[in-house]
Amino acid sequence: MTNRIVRALVLAAAAAVVVVPATGASAVSTDVDCVDFTYQEDAQDHLDGQIGDPDRLDSDGDGIACETLPYRPVSAAPALASTPVYRFWSPRFDNAHFFTTSAAEASTIRTTDRNWIDEGVAFSAWLPVAGDCLGATPVHRFFSDRFKTHFYTASAQEQQHIAATDRNWTYEGVSYCATTTPVTGSVPVYRFWSPVFSKHFFTVSRSESHQLRTTDRNWSYEGIAFYVLP
């Protein structure tokens, strides 16, 4: 994404969806050590936002931070079927990304809509049963005709806040199911916000997340949104 030519259409961030405050580390070192983190994943998340390793969290240089720290407990995966989530990118709509679990919808976009570039399967997620995630967490989907983008959140609080207060967004229902903590075989989904594009971006790719966090000032890291399957 970062090498793509983009239009710097600056929209007021206040006009976009209300989001939780950014929690991600910037590329600026804050002088922390492994003992400052409870879990390895937290140290890794910090390292992934750095250029190089200014805090020396990866002394052996293998890209893995603080190997001596415990990993966050992993629960059993939801007893739900999984499905591929297809990802599309639109340079026309200011770097919008679109995700869908519908193979039919993906096929229609590929064959009829030249606004969107097929980026393949982004990750897999669990399918609700009759709209119910059965113990997993619903990922809600919104669409904004004003901002020409979709928004996804696993936070019921955020979903209710947007639905009740922000007329820029139309609620479209549950897109798929995820978890808010790691489960067997899961990977984190990293969430970004761009006030330049008035868009959110989601990726399970650590390398893509690292690249955005360290080289692309159009995007602010907001942290791990939820967990899905690779």
Q: Specify the residue, 2 or 207, whose C-beta has the smaller distance to Ca ion.
A: 207
Q: Specify the residue, 45 or 58, whose C-beta has the smaller distance to Ca ion.
A: 58
Q: Specify the residue, 43 or 229, whose C-beta has the smaller distance to Ca ion.
A: 43
Nearest distance from C-beta of residue 37 to Ca ion, angstroms: 13
Q: Specify the residue, 41 or 58, whose C-beta has the smaller distance to Ca ion.
A: 58
The reply on whether position 48 binds Ca ion by CB under 5 A is no
Nearest distance from C-beta of residue 221 to Ca ion, angstroms: 21
Q: H or E element: which one contains 143?
A: strand 137-144
82 strand-pairing partners: 126
Nearest distance from C-beta of residue 34 to Ca ion, angstroms: 10
Q: Specify the residue, 29 or 75, whose C-beta has the smaller distance to Ca ion.
A: 29
Nearest distance from C-beta of residue 99 to Ca ion, angstroms: 32
What single DSSP character describes residue 105?
A: H
Taken as a whole, the chain contains a residue count of: 230
Single out the residue of 62, 104, 131, 157 in contact with Ca ion (rule: CB under 5 A). Answer: 62
The reply on whether position 68 binds Ca ion by CB under 5 A is no
The reply on whether position 64 binds Ca ion by CB under 5 A is yes
Q: Specify the residue, 60 or 145, whose C-beta has the smaller distance to Ca ion.
A: 60
- CB-based contacts of 58: which residues, under 8 Å, 6+ apart? 47, 64, 65, 66
Residues 152-181 that bind Ca ion (CB under 5 A): none
Name the residue type at position 140. H
Buried b (16+ CB within 10 A) or exposed e, 57-88: bbeeeeeebbeebeeeeeeebbebebbbbbbb
- CB-based contacts of 154: which residues, under 8 Å, 6+ apart? 137, 138, 139, 140, 178, 180, 225, 226
Single out the residue of 41, 45, 48, 58 in contact with Ca ion (rule: CB under 5 A). Answer: 58
Nearest distance from C-beta of residue 230 to Ca ion, angstroms: 21
- Count the site residues for Ca ion by CB under 5 A: 4
Q: Which two tokens stand for residue 91?
A: 């340079």
CB 176 within 8 A of CB 154: no
Nearest distance from C-beta of residue 184 to Ca ion, angstroms: 24
The pair phi, psi for residue 170, each rounded to 5°, is -110, 125
* Chain positions contacting Ca ion, by CB under 5 A: 58, 60, 62, 64
